[in-house]
Amino acid sequence: MLRFGLFFLVTSMVLPVPCAQAAGAEAREVARLNNCTPKKVEVYQQKVGSEAQTIYKVECVTPKAVDDKGPQAASAVLIQCNGGLCAMLRPLYPSSN
């Protein structure tokens, strides 16, 4: 029993642990696929535990010239990641103040 516990301890220290940076790269790719050229990626919300998930806010590069008559481009998107699986939640539009 002691050997098993020692083996488990050693292997758990050696095996790589998935990190949030890998999911951040996945979030960038999902943003790109949804017509948002990523400028900045930050953690928007994070849940831990058995159903851990991370929601990223990805700021988009917006065009300098904006057509008032055309559709408004999103300034950012929210991307939800569960493990290595990411999907877009919704776009965020700039407020019109």
Beta strands, E only, the chain? 38-47, 53-60, 76-82, 85-92
Q: What are the boundaries of each domain within the chain?
A: 39-63+71-97
pTM over 0.85: no
Judge contact between 89 and 55, C-beta under 8 A.
yes
Residue 54 main-chain phi, psi, to 5 deg? -130, 135
Q: What is the pLDDT along the chain (97 residues), one digit of tens a residue?
A: 555 555 555 545 544 444 455 678 999 999 999 999 999 999 999 999 888 999 999 999 987 766 667 667 789 999 999 987 999 999 998 875 4
Distance CA 1, CA 73 (A): 61
